[in-house]
């Protein structure tokens, strides 16, 4: 009975990226495969968690061969050798499978520990299982309890405190200075990839106005259109720097594009309001001396990486505490799941019906 | 109901609530990584209610606003700071500010209750039954309570600044409000404190002009200097000449100066009247 609840699949913990690429399921294919698998007589209930870092099938077996049948069908669908899959697969049963799902939903099993996106992805997986009529009494109970436990862990530990990506650290810094970003004026110097990512991070956190300036005005205008921002001729940064609260430097320039003198002139126009300069360039685009000015905050790539690293370490330090909480939850939940599995087995067995 | 306990018993009760808020905040901080905002706020509010009772009993005993000795001034200052915090703290939503407020209130009230000499001389009717003089004194001490809260928010600002400059955003730095929010609340508190003190001194000056010998030069100078300092800081801040770190340190120094002036004002009083009777504890 213990093995009737199971998880089988592959994740970043065991499978390298090259393998995960071959196992990845595009959205529509995932839906079709899910429907095929739930039709198997050995499978009673099934949810498919399909993200860039994992493909995992959480199910309730009507017969002990259910995980193997799912594995075979999945490998056939992906044209992947079963024996190769077995080298990288995750295959857990009973309480261990439950504990794994709890840790996945809480972000403990994520590549970026404590990230919150996975919680939404687990919710989507459950919603899809419901839509495909693949969620029964066991999965319904398990997923509801898993969501409660994941929320509890996030609100009672520091697992999701502090940002761990460069772009989000930049936004966190801005929030620590300006609070609500709705009134903050953001200037992006340079229209490359990293600048765009950072600009999007600011927009996602509700930054008031975004302006993009690049030596190539047409590129700045192009990016401005795609981000719903404004474009500014590059040379105008010299006279208009004081109008902005946050300046993200992401140009390919080999010399400083924001000099100490320029910052000094800007601060004369806004002595009370702080100026945040985020330098994402190598060599640096903001003169280091500017950081010594009152109410001016300069962060370069090393600074952002250091903060991200500290946050990551802080999250890792919370993992043991979170596991303990989730283990307690699994101890409470598992007897209920076992009882439901027993009731299901005693009722009409699907296998061979 | 006020007669159920003596003034000092009410005030000890209040102090215990403040202390409980501080201890609860410390415990929740160490166990959960953040001070428990609502619980600390509730304990402060309960302590505040008891302190009103205690100050009320003392006020009845001395026949006016209880500002006749160091103990009473300390209690009134803590009460004033809490009055502002309990209103402004709701919108500020900073668990850390509540925690520091609990810490400040507990220290002021417990220390003042533990020093019998601070409450040895009780002066009744120190304002000569003149409600305007009483209002003048109450406003002045209330403004010092506002400066106490200003000092706390300025300390939070300095901590936030330190976290930004040292590039350490984690741990308890993550609990701090943003720099701009702290700066804005600091400016508003300074404005309120300066306005209250100005109003207080304006009222007092009317009576001083009638009888210049009634106020010692030391008291006059100390009070006026605190007001001038607050006004100068306000002017410099609004002109953008005193900002960020310097402004925050100036606010902390202003509270220090206010405390010093309270000491001078208290010392400048001539020994008056025999101890008040009534329900006040011997």
Where does the pLDDT of residue B274 fall: very low under 50, low under 70, confident under 90, or very high at 90 and above?
Answer: very low
Q: So what's the pLDDT on residue A353?
A: 44
State the Cα torsion A150-A153-A158-A160 to the nearest 10°. 0
Residue B89 has pLDDT above 80, yes or no: no
Q: Pull the structure tokens for residue A305.
A: 């990486």
CA-to-CA dists, residue A19 to A14, A52, A116, A344, angstroms:
10, 12, 24, 36
CATH code of A336's domain: 3.30.460.30
Q: Are residues A238 and A120 located together in one domain of the fold?
A: no
Where does the pLDDT of residue B98 fall: very low under 50, low under 70, confident under 90, or very high at 90 and above?
Answer: confident
Residue B271 has pLDDT above 70, yes or no: no
* Annotation says A52 is catalytic: yes
Distance from CA of B179 to the nearest CA of A (A): 5
Q: Are residues A95 and A229 located together in one domain of the fold?
A: no
Q: Are residues A12 and A146 located together in one domain of the fold?
A: yes
Q: So what's the pLDDT on residue A298?
A: 96
Q: How confident is the model over B227-264, as pLDDT tens digits?
A: 999 999 999 999 999 999 999 999 999 999 999 998 88
Termini Cα distance of chain A = 19
Where does the pLDDT of residue B222 fall: very low under 50, low under 70, confident under 90, or very high at 90 and above?
Answer: very high
- For residue A310, the chain B residues in CB contact (below 8 A) are 168-170
d(C-alpha A45, C-alpha A139), whole Å: 7
Q: Are residues A135 and A180 located together in one domain of the fold?
A: no
Give a yes or no: residue A26 inside a domain.
Answer: yes
**Count of the separate structural domains present in chain A:** 2
Q: Are residues A217 and A193 located together in one domain of the fold?
A: yes
Catalytic residue among A52, A249, A281, A322: A52
Q: Pull the structure tokens for residue B176.
A: 């701090």
Q: Are residues A262 and A294 located together in one domain of the fold?
A: yes
Of A162, A294, A295, the CB nearest to B174: A162
d(C-alpha A107, C-alpha A121), whole Å: 11
Sequence-ordered list of residues with C-beta below 8 angstroms from that of A293, at least 6 positions apart, any chain? A260, A263, A264, A267
| Cβ pair A178:B178 closer than 8 A | yes
Q: Which residue of chain A has the CA closest to B157?
A: A177
Q: Are residues A327 and A222 located together in one domain of the fold?
A: no
Give a yes or no: residue A353 inside a domain.
Answer: no
Q: Are residues A171 and A298 located together in one domain of the fold?
A: yes
Which of B37, B94, B156, B180 is the mutation pick for testing A, counting most A CBs within 10 A?
Answer: B180
Give a yes or no: residue A6 inside a domain.
Answer: yes
Residues of chain A with pLDDT below 50 are 352-353
Q: Which residue of chain B has the CA closest to A313?
A: B170
Q: So what's the pLDDT on residue A81?
A: 95
Q: Are residues A287 and A172 located together in one domain of the fold?
A: yes
Percent of chain B with pLDDT over 70: 92
Distance from CA of B81 to the nearest CA of A (A): 25
Percent of chain B with pLDDT over 90: 49
CATH code of A265's domain: 3.40.50.720
Residue B68 has pLDDT above 90, yes or no: no
* Residue A266 buriedness (CB in 10 A; 0-12 / 13-18 / 19+): buried
**Among the listed residues B281, B275, B231, the one whose alpha carbon sits nearest the alpha carbon of residue B122:** B275
Give a yes or no: residue A245 inside a domain.
Answer: yes
Higher pLDDT, B214 or A173: A173
A114: helix, strand or coil? coil
Give a yes or no: residue A125 inside a domain.
Answer: yes
Q: Which residue of chain A has the CA closest to B35?
A: A156
Q: So what's the pLDDT on residue A348?
A: 63
- For residue A273, the chain B residues in CB contact (below 8 A) are 180
Q: So what's the pLDDT on residue B32?
A: 67
Neighbour count for residue A339 (Cβ, 10 Å): 11
pTM for the structure as a whole: 0.73
Give a yes or no: residue A217 inside a domain.
Answer: yes
CA-to-CA dists, residue A158 to A113, A263, B168, B174, B220, angstroms:
11, 37, 16, 10, 52
DSSP secondary structure letter of residue A258: B
Q: What are phi and psi for residue A280, nearest 5 degrees? A: -100, 15
* Residue that terminates a domain, selected from A276, A291, A307: A307
Q: How confident is the model over B19-49, as pLDDT tens digits?
A: 999 999 888 877 766 667 788 899 999 999 9
Residue with tokens 């209103």, as numbered in its chain: B87
Q: Are residues A127 and A209 located together in one domain of the fold?
A: no
Q: Which helix (H) or strand (E) holds A233?
A: strand A230-233
Q: So what's the pLDDT on residue B224?
A: 94
| Cβ pair A172:B169 closer than 8 A | yes
Contacts within 8 Å (CB) and 24+ apart, A35-41:
A35/A132, A36/A73, A36/A77, A37/A70, A37/A73, A37/A74, A38/A132, A38/A133, A38/A134, A40/A66, A40/A69, A40/A70, A40/A73, A41/A350, A41/A351, A41/A352, A41/A353
Q: Pull the structure tokens for residue B59.
A: 């006020």
Give a yes or no: residue A352 inside a domain.
Answer: no
Q: Are residues A140 and A181 located together in one domain of the fold?
A: no
| Cβ pair A299:B167 closer than 8 A | yes
Q: Are residues A209 and A272 located together in one domain of the fold?
A: yes
Q: Which residue of chain B has the CA closest to A299?
A: B167
Neighbour count for residue B132 (Cβ, 10 Å): 12
Q: How confident is the model over B117-144, as pLDDT tens digits?
A: 888 877 777 777 788 888 898 899 899 9
R_g of chain B, CA atoms, integer Å: 19
Give a yes or no: residue A342 inside a domain.
Answer: yes
* Domain extent for A24: 2-160+315-347
Q: Which helix (H) or strand (E) holds A52?
A: none
Q: So what's the pLDDT on residue B279?
A: 45
Distance from CA of A143 to the nearest CA of B (A): 26
Of B170, B171, B180, the CB nearest to A177: B180
Q: So what's the pLDDT on residue A38?
A: 94
Query: Considering all CA atoms of chain A, what is the largest pairwise distance in Å, rounded to the nearest integer?
Result: 81
- For residue B170, the chain A residues in CB contact (below 8 A) are 161-162, 307, 310-311, 314
| Cβ pair A271:B243 closer than 8 A | yes
Walk across the sheet containing A209-214 and list its strands.
Answer: A230-233, A209-214, A185-189, A246-249, A275-279, A296-300
**SS3 sequence, chain B?**
CHHHCCHHHHHHHHHHHHHHHHHHHHHHHHHHCCCCHHHHHHHHHHHHHHHHHHHHHHHHHHCCCCCCCHHHHHHHHHHHHHHHHHHHHHHHCCHHHHHHHHHHHHHHHHHHHHCHHHHCCCCCCCCCCCHHHHHHHHHHHHHHHHHHHHHHHHHHHHHHHHHHHCCCCCHHHHHCCCHHHHHHHHHHHHHHHHHHHHHHHHHHHHHHHHCHHHCCHHHHHHHHHHHHHHHHHHHHHHCCCCCHHHHHHHHHHHHHHHHHHHHHHHHHCCCCCCCCCCCCCC
């Amino acid at each position: 009975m213990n093995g009737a609840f199971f998880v089988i699949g592959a994740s970043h913990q065991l499978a390298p990226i090259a393998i995960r690429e071959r196992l990845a399921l595009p959205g529509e294919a995932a839906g079709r495969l899910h429907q095929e698998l739930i039709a198997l007589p050995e499978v009673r209930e099934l949810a498919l968690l399909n993200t860039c870092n994992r493909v995992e099938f959480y199910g309730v077996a009507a017969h002990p061969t259910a995980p193997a049948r799912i594995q075979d069908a999945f490998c056939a669908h992906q044209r992947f050798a079963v024996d190769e899959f077995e080298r990288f697969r995750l295959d857990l049963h009973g309480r261990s499978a439950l504990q794994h799902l709890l840790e996945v939903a809480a972000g403990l099993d994520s590549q970026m520990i404590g990230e919150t996106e996975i919680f939404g992805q687990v919710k989507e997986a459950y919603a899809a299982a419901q839509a495909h009529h693949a969620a029964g009494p066991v999965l319904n109970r398990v997923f509801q309890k898993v969501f409660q436990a994941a929320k509890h862990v996030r609100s009672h530990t520091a697992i999701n405190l502090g940002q761990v990506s460069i772009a989000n650290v930049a936004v966190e810094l801005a929030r620590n200075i300006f609070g609500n970003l709705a009134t903050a004026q953001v200037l992006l110097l340079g229209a490359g990839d990293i600048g765009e990512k950072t600009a999007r991070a600011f927009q996602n956190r509700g930054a008031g106005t975004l302006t993009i300036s690049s030596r190539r005005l047409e590129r700045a205008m192009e990016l401005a259109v795609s981000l719903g921002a404004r474009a500014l001729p590059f040379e105008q940064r010299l006279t208009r720097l004081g109008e902005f609260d946050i300046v993200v430097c992401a140009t390919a320039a080999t010399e400083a594009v924001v000099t100490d003198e320029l910052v000094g002139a800007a601060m004369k126009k806004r002595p009370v309001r702080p100026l945040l300069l985020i330098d994402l360039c190598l060599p640096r685009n903001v003169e280091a001396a500017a950081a010594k000015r009152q109410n001016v905050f300069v962060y370069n790539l090393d600074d952002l990486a250091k903060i991200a690293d500290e946050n990551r370490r802080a999250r890792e330090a919370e993992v043991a505490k979170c596991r303990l909480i989730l283990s307690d939850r699994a101890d409470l939940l598992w007897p209920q799941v076992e009882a439901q599995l027993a009731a299901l087995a005693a009722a009409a067995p699907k296998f061979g019906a | 109901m006020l007669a159920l306990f003596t003034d000092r018993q009410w005030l000890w009760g209040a102090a215990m609530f403040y202390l409980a808020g501080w201890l609860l905040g410390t415990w929740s901080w160490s166990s959960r990584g953040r001070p428990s905002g609502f619980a600390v706020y509730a304990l402060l509010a309960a302590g505040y209610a008891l302190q009103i009772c205690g100050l009320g009993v003392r006020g009845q005993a001395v026949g006016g606003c209880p500002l006749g000795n160091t103990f009473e001034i300390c209690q009134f200052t803590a009460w004033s700071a809490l009055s502002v915090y309990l209103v402004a703290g709701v919108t500020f939503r900073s668990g850390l500010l509540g925690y520091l407020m609990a810490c400040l209130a507990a220290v002021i009230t417990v220390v003042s209750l533990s020093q019998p000499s601070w409450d040895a001389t009780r002066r009744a009717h120190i304002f000569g039954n003149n409600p305007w003089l009483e209002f003048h004194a109450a406003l002045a001490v209330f403004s010092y309570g506002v400066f106490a809260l200003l000092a706390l928010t300025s300390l939070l600002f300095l901590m936030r600044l330190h976290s930004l400059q040292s590039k350490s955003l984690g741990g308890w730095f993550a609990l701090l409000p943003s720099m701009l929010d702290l700066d804005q609340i600091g400016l508003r508190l300074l404005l309120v404190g300066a306005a209250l003190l100005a109003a207080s001194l304006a009222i007092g000056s009317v009576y001083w002009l009638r009888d210049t010998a009634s106020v010692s030069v030391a008291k006059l100078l100390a009070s006026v200097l605190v007001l001038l300092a607050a006004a100068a800081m306000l002017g410099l801040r609004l002109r953008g000449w005193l900002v960020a770190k310097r402004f925050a340190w100036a606010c902390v120094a202003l509270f220090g100066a206010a405390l010093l002036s309270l000491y001078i004002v208290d010392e400048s009083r001539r020994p008056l009247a025999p101890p008040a009777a009534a329900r006040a504890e011997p």
